[in-house]
Structure 1
């Protein structure tokens, strides 16, 4: 099982990889700094329980 997923930075638009902790539940949110521009992104992670597909939305931290 792949525990990484990608999201686009809400500030610079660059692609970033992040580690997904499946034990934290199917709906997660946390702040992670962009690996390119270092701005904080709020990540909203959803994991499909049946297929384990991962969806991530990012938003700027206000």
Structure 2
């Protein structure tokens, strides 16, 4: 697993997520551990290296 730190797109707190580099393309939704708002993650790996990471708010 790969720990990645980023700022929540809602509360701007720095939080972390655990990413699985064995899956090259990932899109999923997870709640912020601080403010509990849903965040859409788009992640890609190449040769077990993180290539792209997006954490976007979900307009509700």
- Provide TM-score, normalisation by structure 1: 0.74
Aligned length: 59
Root mean square deviation, CA, Å? 1.9
| Gap regions ≥5 residues in structure 2 | none
- Provide TM-score, normalisation by structure 2: 0.75
| Gap regions ≥5 residues in structure 1 | none
> In proportion to residue count, which structure has more strand?
2
| Runs of 4+ more than 2 Å apart | none
> In proportion to residue count, which structure has more helix?
1
Alignment partner of 1:26 out of 24, 27, 43:
24
